[in-house]
Each structure stands twice: as C-alpha cells, then as structure tokens.
Amino acid sequence: MTSTASFGVQAFFDAVTGTVSYVLHDAASREAAVIDPVWDFDVQSGRTSTASAQRIADYLQAEQLTLHWVLETHTHADHLSAAQWLRMQMPSGEVRVAAPVVIGQQITQVQKVFGGIYGMEDCIAPQGADFDCLLSDGDVLALGATRIRALGVPGHTPADLAYAVEAAGAVAAIFVGDTLFMPDVGTARCDFPGGDARALYRSIGRLLAHPPQTTLYVCHDYPPAGRAAAWCSTVAEQRAHNIHVHDGVDEAAFVAMREARDATLAMPQLMLPSVQVNIRAGRLPDADAQGRRFLKLPVDAL
Ligand SMILES: [Fe+2]
C-alpha cells in the first residue's frame, strides 16, 4: 500500500501472468479506480475464474471504497480482463450505475487489426462502443479531488495509455502500462500487430521527463531469479538504471535492441484467447442458441 495525504494505491500481483492490477483511491471521498484487473483463465481446461478479481472486490469492500472507473492501459495480450465482472461489483446493498470501462481512443485501430485476424468484424461495436469511455491524450477523469490524466504512450500497441495521478495540481504518480518495466527487466515488447519500437522510445521519453521523484507503477513484472516481484519505481531510478532506456541510450540504439530482442520472444501463452475478449472490453464471445460460448483460434494468422 502506497499512500500520500490525498490518495492511496494498492497493488495486486498475478504471478501466473506477471500482471499487476491496482486500486487507486481518493482518500477524502473514498472513490476508487481499478486499473487492469485480471480474469483468470486456464487454457488447458478453458475454464475461467474470478479468484483474482474477487481479491480486488474484497479489498474495495473492506476499505469501503466505491468503484468509479475501471481503467485499461491497453488491450492486454497476456490475460483476459475482468473489467465486465468487476464493474458490476457493488458494496452489499448498494444500487447504482456500474462503473464505466475506460481505454484509449486508438482502441478502434486495435479492434480493426484484430477484428480482421479473428473474423470478428460483425461482433465489434462501431466506434469503440464496447467500452464506456474512450480517452485521448490529455483527457482528465475525476476521483473526488484527485485527478487522473490520460497520457498517450503508443509503441507496445497504438492505443496504450498511461494514467497520471494529479494531487494538488502536480503529478505524483503514473501507472505506466506496458512501456517501462522494473529497471532490471527493461521495457515492453513492440512486435504485436500495430507495435512500434520508435513510438515506444518516444513514449518512454515522455514519461521520464516527469520530475525525478515521480512514482512509476508498472503493469507487469517478470522478476529475475532471486528477486521478489516488484512494481514501484521512480523516474530517477529508471533514468539511472533501466537496462534498456537509461540516460544516454538513443533512439536508434533502443530500436535496434528492441527489434532484435522481440524477434526472439515467443507469443504469450494466453494471447489468442485474451485479445478477442479484451478488444470487447472483457466480454466473451456471444453465446449461441444453446447458451454455449466458444473462443476462436485463428490458424497461421500471426
Ligand atoms: Fe501488454
């Protein structure tokens, strides 16, 4: 738990996928946002579970927080999103509108590319309407007196957003999405359809232009042997120690490193099940007349 006088952050680490989900709350109003919640999925059996998301729901209830936003930093390729389940979770007895699911405006580009790969053109709502709220760079959401500003950080995907937390008019923390990892792990891959290492370098430069003490919360951790999972660093730590983009690494060197490294990486285990759900804001494919649901497995498409 990280706290300032005005807001708090609680992390939830999913060791299966290396994903870090967060609850951000405004201390005075008890209004909360959940960032990148995980819906557990076992690919061998095809079974889903809400165990990870339940931990977040339990935390909201225990801390008497009301969920105002479910924020996705991007279309995840390594886990299914629990956004749809979580947005319906209310403190017992409470009746109100479900929390909006938020993502970047460029999600429509990601939907177009992957809608073609999956043959899902007819299932995707026009203009990104599977999501409740699409943000552009600079847009601001309110959480009581705390402000959440969207920062466009394309590269890993064209639609990646980071979320900067502003308290008393200054950026105190940023949820960086799939851009930077912990300094000893480096940076996010850029080889999925629509990825761009050059764009990622520029996006990271934008994040690292914030004041040195700014707290950065990563979206994933893949801890090297001997280190416990971690998710919190600062601009100063990243600029000094990030193995891919410390001060002095120029764009050409970064792009060459990133592209060479990406060529060696396998597809994430849950990529094909995840993306078809996540481009529809965490919805499974529609059920057939008998109530059965099926995921698609595109052959030779990636
Ligand atoms: Fe990702």
Take residue 231 and report the two structure tokens written for it: 């998710």
Distance between Cα 190 and ligand 1 center (Å)? 9
Q: What is the pLDDT of residue 167?
A: 86
In this structure, how many other beta carbons lie within 10 angstroms of the beta carbon of residue 82?
26
Q: Taking the CA atoms of the chain, what radius of gyration do you get in angstroms? A: 18
Task: Give the DSSP H or E segment for 30.
Answer: none
Query: What's at 62, amino acid-wise?
Result: A
Backbone angles phi, psi at 207, to 5 degrees: -65, -40
Would strands 7-14 and 2-3 be described as parallel, antiparallel, or unpaired? antiparallel
Q: What is the pLDDT of residue 70?
A: 97
According to DSSP, the residues that pair with 296 across neighbouring strands are none
Distance (Å, rounded) from C-alpha 210 to C-alpha 205? 9
Q: What is the pLDDT of residue 89?
A: 78
Take residue 60 and report the two structure tokens written for it: 């909201």
b/e burial code for range 187-196 (CB count within 10 A of at least 16 → b)? bbbbbbebbb
Cα–chain-centroid distance for residue 74?
5
Q: What is the pLDDT of residue 209?
A: 98
Distance between Cα 220 and ligand 1 center (Å)? 8
Distance between Cα 29 and ligand 1 center (Å)? 31
Domain residue ranges in the chain = 2-269
In this structure, how many other beta carbons lie within 10 angstroms of the beta carbon of residue 276?
25
Q: What is the pLDDT of residue 90?
A: 66
Backbone angles phi, psi at 54, to 5 degrees: -65, -35
Backbone angles phi, psi at 118, to 5 degrees: -95, -5
CATH number for domain 2-269, candidates 3.60.15.10, 3.30.930.10, 3.90.1150.10, 3.40.50.1470: 3.60.15.10
Take residue 54 and report the two structure tokens written for it: 């339940």
Q: What is the DSSP string of 133-194?
A: EEE-TT-EEEETTEEEEEEE--SSSTT-EEEEEEETTEEEEEE--SSB--TTT-B----STT
User: Whose structure tokens read 């405006």?
Assistant: 105
Distance (Å, rounded) from C-alpha 89 to C-alpha 66? 10
Distance between Cα 273 and ligand 1 center (Å)? 14
Distance between Cα 6 and ligand 1 center (Å)? 29
Take residue 265 and report the two structure tokens written for it: 């990486």
Distance between Cα 164 and ligand 1 center (Å)? 18
Task: Give the DSSP H or E segment for 25.
Answer: strand 19-26
Cα–chain-centroid distance for residue 40?
15
Distance between Cα 77 and ligand 1 center (Å)? 5
Q: What is the pLDDT along the chain (302 residues), one digit of tens a residue?
A: 555 679 999 999 999 999 999 999 999 999 999 999 999 999 999 999 999 999 999 999 999 999 999 999 999 999 999 999 999 876 656 667 789 999 999 999 999 999 999 999 999 999 999 999 999 999 999 999 999 999 999 999 999 999 999 988 899 999 999 999 999 999 999 999 899 999 999 999 999 999 999 999 999 999 999 999 999 999 999 999 999 999 999 999 999 999 999 999 999 999 999 999 999 999 999 999 999 999 999 999 98
Q: What is the pLDDT of residue 172?
A: 95
Q: Directed axis angle between helix 197-207 and helix 251-262, to 10°?
A: 120
pTM score, two decimals?
0.96
